[in-house]
Amino acid sequence: MVESTTPVRWLLRLLAIGYVFMLVAWPVGLLVQHTFADGLTTLTATLTDPGVVGALRLTALVTFWAVLINLVFGVTISMLLVRYEFPGKRLLSALIDVPLSVSPVVVGLALLLAYNGRDGWFGPTLEAHGIRLVFDLPAMVMATCFVALPLVIREVVPVLTEIGDDQEQAARSLGASAPQTFWRITLPSIRWAVVYGVVLSLARAVGEFGAVKIVSGNFTGRTQTATLVVEQQYQNFQQDAAYATSFLLILVSVACLVVVALLRPGRH
Amino acid sequence: MSIDVQHITKRFGDFVALDDVSVTIPSGGLTALLGPSGGGKSTLLRVIAGLESADAGSVHIEGTDATRLAPQKRNVGFVFQHYAVFKHLTVARNVAFGLEVRKVPRAQVRQKVHELLELVHLSQFADRMPSQLSGGQRQRMALARALAVEPSVLLLDEPFGALDAKVRKELRDWLRRLHDEVHVTTVFVTHDQEEALEVADEIVVVNGGRVEQVGTPDELYDAPANDFVMGFLGEVTSLGGRVLRPHDVELETGPGRDAAREAIVTRVLRIGFETRVLAETVQGEQVTVVMTRTHARTLELVEGMTVWLSAAPGAVSVAAPTGAAGGSDERDPAVPLAV
Ligand SMILES: Nc1ncnc2c1ncn2[C@@H]1O[C@H](COP(=O)(O)OP(=O)(O)OP(=O)(O)O)[C@@H](O)[C@H]1O
Ligand SMILES: [Mg+2]
Q: What percent of chain B has pLDDT over 90?
A: 53
Could you tell me if B150 lies within 8 Å of chain A, comparing CB atoms?
no
Do the chains contact at B97 and A176, CB–CB below 8 Å? yes
User: The domain spanning residue A79 has which CATH number?
Assistant: 1.10.3720.10
A15 located within any domain: no
Residue B98: alpha-carbon gap to chain centroid: 28
In a domain, B305, yes or no: yes
Over range B299-311, report the average pLDDT.
89
The CATH number for B244's domain is: 2.40.50.140
CB within 8 Å: A167 and B102: no
- Residue where one domain finishes, among candidates B171, B193, B222: B222
Domain boundary pick from B160, B189, B222: B222
Residue A49 has pLDDT above 70, yes or no: yes
Q: Is B144 a member of any domain? A: yes
Listed residue (A153, A149, A147, A138) closest to A65, CA to CA: A138
pLDDT at B56 over 90: yes
Give me the pLDDT at residue A268, please. Answer: 45
Question: Do B318 and B214 contact (CB within 8 A), yes or no?
Answer: no
Whether A36 is covered by a domain: the verdict is no
Query: How far apart (Å, rounded) are the C-alpha atoms in residues A69 and B153?
Result: 43
**Residue from A165, A174, A268 to probe the interface with B (highest B Cβ count within 10 Å):** A174
Does the Cβ of B17 fall within 6 Å of ligand 1? yes
Q: What is the pLDDT of residue A122?
A: 79
pLDDT of residue A4: 64
Q: What is the ipTM of this complex?
A: 0.77
**Residues of B in Cβ contact (< 8 Å) with A189:** 87-88
Give the per-residue pLDDT at B327. 38
CATH number at residue B13: 3.40.50.300
Coil/strand/helix, residue B82: coil
CA B28 to ligand 1 center in whole angstroms: 27
Residue A76: half-sphere exposure toward Cβ, Cα within 13 Å: 7
Give the model's confidence band at B1: pLDDT under 50 very low, under 70 low, under 90 confident, else very high.
low
Ligand approaching nearest to the C-alpha of B205: 1
Which range (A207-216, B257-266, B325-334) has the least confidence? B325-334
* Number of domains, chain B: 2
The per-residue pLDDT for range B171-190, each reduced to its tens digit, is 888 888 888 888 889 999 99
Nearest by CB to B51, which of A169, A175, A188?
A169
Which pLDDT score, from 0 to 100, does residue B164 have? 79
Residue B332 has a pLDDT of 44
Domain contains B231 = no
Q: Is residue B227 part of a domain?
A: no
The residue out of B195, B222, B249 marking a domain boundary is B222
pLDDT above 70 (res A267): no
Residue A11 lies in a domain: no
Arithmetic mean of pLDDT, B88-103: 95
Q: Report chain A residues whose CB lies below 8 A from the CB of B100.
A: 184
Domain of residue A54 covers 43-263
pLDDT of residue B145: 94
Tell me what the mean pLDDT of segment B193-198 comes to.
88
Q: Are B206 and B277 in a shared domain?
A: no
Q: Are residues B214 and B248 in the same domain?
A: no
* Whether residue B151 is found in the same domain as residue B25: yes
Mean pLDDT to the nearest integer, B41-48: 94
For residue B202, the model assigns a pLDDT of: 94
Integer Cα distance of A58 and A214 in angstroms: 16
> How far is the alpha carbon of B87 from chain A, nearest alpha carbon, in Å?
8
Q: Which amino acid does the sequence have at B116?
A: L
| Residue B84 shares a structural domain with residue B160 | yes
Percent of chain A having pLDDT more than 90?
A: 56
Classify residue A80: in a domain, yes or no: yes
In this structure, the dihedral spanned by the alpha carbons of residues A130, A131, A136 and A137, taken in order and rounded to 10 degrees, is 140
Q: Are A111 and A211 in contact (CB under 8 A)?
A: yes
Lowest-pLDDT choice from A5-9, A21-25, B146-150, B323-327: B323-327
**Overall average pLDDT of the B313-331 stretch:** 64
Element (H, E) at B144: helix B135-148
The answer to whether B91 and B47 are in contact (CB under 8 A) is no
Tell me if A205 is assigned to some domain. yes
Q: Residues A62-83: pLDDT tens digits? A: 999 999 999 999 999 999 999 9
CA distance B302 to chain A (A): 56
pLDDT digits (tens, 9 = 90+) for B129-160: 999 999 889 988 999 999 998 898 999 998 88
Testing the interface with A: which of B47, B101, B156 to mutate, by most A Cβ within 10 A?
B101
Q: Is the pLDDT at B272 greater than 60, yes or no?
A: yes
The identity of residue B338, as a single letter, is A
Which pLDDT value is given to residue B338?
39
At residue B323, the pLDDT reads 53
- What is the C-alpha to C-alpha distance for residues A14 and A4, in angstroms, rounded to an integer? 15
Does residue B100 share a domain with residue B19? yes
**Single pTM value for the model:** 0.80
What is the pLDDT averaged over residues A23-27? 91
pLDDT of residue B336 exceeding 70: no
| Identity of residue B173 | D
Taking residues B103-118, what's their average pLDDT? Answer: 93
pLDDT reported for residue A2: 60
Tell whether the model's pLDDT for residue B66 goes beyond 80: yes
Would you say residue A225 lies in a domain? yes
Residue B306 domain boundaries: 236-336
Question: Does residue B20 lie in a domain region?
Answer: yes
Asked if residue B167 and residue B136 are part of one domain, the reply reads yes
pLDDT for A132-189, tens place per residue? 888 889 999 999 999 999 999 999 999 999 999 999 999 999 999 999 999 999 999 9
Question: Could you give the number of structural domains in chain A?
Answer: 1
Q: A188 to chain B: which residues are within 8 Å by CB?
A: 88
> Quick check: helix, strand or coil at residue B73?
helix
- How many contacts (CB atoms, under 8 Å) link A and B? 65
Give chain B positions within 8 Å (CB) of A175.
72, 75, 98, 101-102, 149
Q: Identify whether residues B34 and B119 lie together within a single domain.
A: yes
Residue B73 domain-assigned (yes or no)? yes
- Residue located nearest, by CA, to atom 17 of ligand 1: B42
For residues B142 and B52, state if they share a domain.
yes
Kindly state whether residue B230 falls inside one of the protein's structural domains: no
Domain presence at residue B327? yes
Q: Flag whether A37 is in a domain.
A: no
- CB contacts of B149 in chain A (<8 Å) are 174-175
Ligand 1 atom at minimal distance to the Cα of residue B41: 21
CB-based contact A172 B72, cutoff 8 Å: yes
Give SS3 for B23: strand
User: What's the pLDDT score for residue A1?
Assistant: 55
Q: Which of B88, B145, B146 has its CB closest to that of A189?
A: B88
